[in-house]
Structure 1
Amino acid sequence: MATYTYEDIPIDNNTIKYLFNANGNKLSYAEFIELLRLGDENFLDTFKKALNEATNKLFAYVWECPPIHKEMTNKPFEFVVTKSMALRHIKQDYSSFKEQIIESNNKDVCSFLSLGKDATLIVPIPCHNLDYKNISNFTKNASKEQQIKFWQEVADKLVECLEFGTSKWLSTSGLGVHYLHIRIDSKPKYYVWKEYLQFKLEKNN
């Protein structure tokens, strides 16, 4: 069984970068995606621990990954979290996604195109009396089963989107619709971490 660990690198008081290791080696984007698709509980426990640590330090945050292209998936996986007081104080409201949630045949997660058709959104199905207003609350409150299914859907949709051969940005914002939704975007529409806005896409070695 692989041993997974993470590194947390404070950038400033409001921003932390996270990287992951598998048996002491940097975890690639391809490996990250595959572990999510497999629902690997060992890795997901480590991933969840990192997200919860970020919550303990920042309370609420936007979650952003560097842009990814199918020809650069062997690069190390990382993400940055940036503190957001606005996300901490919003109230859960999934009414904008109500139609898609009701029509879903899946009890844990649904996915669909954004109104502008330029992004795929992955949304957890609401659970009675649980607050999923942002990624912090979802990670703290959702069952392990729902979190596994949710991240599996994220990985599956990311693989589908990458097949088109264009770069994709994986992130959360949540300042528009006050309910967790992972975005797979064709551009960094709501990104706040400047390094990823200027990120150079390099093919696998």
Structure 2
Amino acid sequence: MSWAEFAAGLRADRGLRARLTETLAASPYPAFFWETPGVSARSTAQPFEMVVVSAPHLARAEPSPTAFAEHLEPDGPAVRTFANLGGDATLVVPRPLTEHAAYGHLAAFVRGAPAGQIDALWQAVGAALVDAWARSPAPVWLSTSGSAVPWLHVRLDARPKYYVHAPYRAIREG
């Protein structure tokens, strides 16, 4: 599957979103970073790829939505998309609909959040990815970290700011 097909599938294909969720939930790691290579609008024909990297410290962190409280209204949407404080990344963030333990990192989320909210998160990620490619010819790095902020936030960044998988830190041509 190409990156273009992946992004379109996140937006419109419930089966693709379910397979992604199942794949991530089946990871042997209690907590992990999710990382992809940087991809620009010019390189969306390249095959989609991703890694999960064990991050045991995330499993020990106490989830807290405090950093995103202004965006996560109690009666607001289940998932919000907004710019980070520095304005150099787009974040896709779920609001708490169940116990906070389900929101500390992506592994906890795909294993413990409500199925409809997981689906909504992937749809929002797909929309944000397509929007990022439409706004700029620069590569977009799609990932989760959470080491500094213990609440799930999918990052769409102009650089691999928090990446641990070294091969994905480089800009790829294609």
What TM-score, normalized by structure 1, do the two folds share?
Answer: 0.80
Q: Percent identity?
A: 34
Within 1, Cα distance between the matches of 2:148 and 2:64? Answer: 10
Number of equivalences: 172
**Larger relative contact order (C-alpha < 8 A, sep ≥ 6)?**
2
Indicate if the aligned counterparts of 2:64 and 2:150 stay in contact, CA closer than 8 A: yes
Within 2, Cα distance between the matches of 1:104 and 1:195? Answer: 41
- What stretches of structure 1 of length at least 5 have no aligned partner? 1-26
Per-residue deviation, 1:43: 1.7
Indicate if the aligned counterparts of 1:51 and 1:136 stay in contact, CA closer than 8 A: yes
Per-residue deviation, 1:114: 0.7
Indicate if the aligned counterparts of 1:123 and 1:182 stay in contact, CA closer than 8 A: yes
Within-5 A mapping of 1:1-205? 27-38=1-12, 40-54=13-27, 57-102=28-73, 105-106=76-77, 108-130=78-100, 131-163=102-134, 164-202=136-174
**The residue matched to 1:123 in structure 2 has which SS?**
strand
Indicate if the aligned counterparts of 1:67 and 1:201 stay in contact, CA closer than 8 A: no
Indicate if the aligned counterparts of 1:109 and 1:124 stay in contact, CA closer than 8 A: yes
Q: Could you say which residue in structure 2 is the equivalent of 1:24?
A: none
**The residue matched to 2:155 in structure 1 has which SS?**
strand
What residue identity is the alignment partner of 2:110?
Answer: T
Per-residue deviation, 1:161: 1.0
- What stretches of structure 2 of length at least 5 have no aligned partner? none
- The 4+ residue runs of structure 1 with deviation greater than 4 A are none
Indicate if the aligned counterparts of 2:43 and 2:173 stay in contact, CA closer than 8 A: yes
Within 2, Cα distance between the matches of 1:72 and 1:103? Answer: 39
Per-residue deviation, 1:103: 8.2
What residue identity is the alignment partner of 1:49?
Answer: E
Indicate if the aligned counterparts of 2:67 and 2:149 stay in contact, CA closer than 8 A: yes
Within 2, Cα distance between the matches of 1:63 and 1:125? Answer: 19
Per-residue deviation, 1:104: 7.6
Indicate if the aligned counterparts of 2:39 and 2:172 stay in contact, CA closer than 8 A: no
Indicate if the aligned counterparts of 2:79 and 2:124 stay in contact, CA closer than 8 A: yes
Structure (1 or 2) with the greater helix fraction: 2
Indicate if the aligned counterparts of 1:122 and 1:183 stay in contact, CA closer than 8 A: yes
**The residue matched to 1:58 in structure 2 has which SS?**
coil
Per-residue deviation, 1:148: 1.4
Indicate if the aligned counterparts of 1:112 and 1:122 stay in contact, CA closer than 8 A: yes
Per-residue deviation, 1:199: 4.4
Per-residue deviation, 1:119: 0.3
